Amino acid sequence: MKFSIVIQALLLIAFQGVLFSQDNLPDLPDSDKSTVDFFMEEITLQVSDSTSHVEGVYYFRNNTSKEFDFPVLFPFYTDSLTSYPHVIEPYLLENGKRNKLSYKNLPNFSGIRFRIPLQADKATVWHLDYSQKINAKRAVYIITSTAAWKKPLEKATYYFIAPESFSGVEIWPEADTAYTDDGNIIYKCIRENFMPSKDMKISWK
């Protein structure tokens, strides 16, 4: 088997990351250019007293002239106070409809494996929503996995949503703006040329 590019990320706990393996992918004439770029993301992390819900939108750019399925290994943050997600849904939006992507649970990795169909010479937008039970006054979403791509995100947008009744709320990345809506406080932060130094986190008292 030929490996054109292999990207190894930091695994959860031991490594804390996301593995986007790129074996058997189309080769590029320019060896300095990657086959696929992960260049933008939009993450919403919403919390309640007992649940954390994530809605992620991810942008992959196929730099080749061929269509192919890109394998993704996606981890979830878990610990003694954060359970493995009970709802998991990766999908593409096509003509306003969800095209669900099949996946395989990898309990030993605390994550899932699936494939993203990429169009030739284009960017593909895919989604992953999940919910998990939390028994702590904090929730975490892994973003340090960006380091696996060896280049920063061109743009990243992060939303934190928490009930107005929560006190002492702290978040990272820090918010640029905050506003209230329907009993919640929404914190928004936008970063450009962004390489996260730690994971997305919200905590409260």
**From the centroid of its chain, how far is CA 9?**
13
Q: How far is CA 205 from CA 6, 103, 165, 168, 181, in A?
A: 42, 36, 10, 5, 21
In a domain, 189, yes or no: yes
Q: In what order do the strands lie in the sheet with 138-141?
A: 138-141, 200-203, 170-172
In a domain, 15, yes or no: no
Number of domains in the chain: 1
What is the average pLDDT across 30-38?
A: 77
What is the biggest distance separating any 2 CA atoms in the chain, rounded to whole angstroms? Answer: 56
What pLDDT was estimated at residue 107?
80
What pLDDT was estimated at residue 23?
43
Residue 112: its H or E element = strand 111-118
If pLDDT is split at 50, 70 and 90, which confidence band does 32 have? Answer: low
Burial of 96 (0-12, 13-18, 19+ CB in 10 A): exposed
In a domain, 159, yes or no: yes
Q: Which has the minimum average pLDDT: 27-31, 69-73, 107-111, 112-116? A: 27-31
Burial of 21 (0-12, 13-18, 19+ CB in 10 A): middle
Reply yes or no on whether the pLDDT at 121 is more than 80. Answer: yes
Residue span of the structural domain in which 40 resides: 36-203
What pLDDT was estimated at residue 96?
87
In a domain, 12, yes or no: no
What is the average pLDDT across 149-170?
A: 97
Q: Which CATH number do you get for residue 63? A: 2.60.40.3680
- Give pTM, 2 decimals: 0.85
In a domain, 69, yes or no: yes
In a domain, 4, yes or no: no
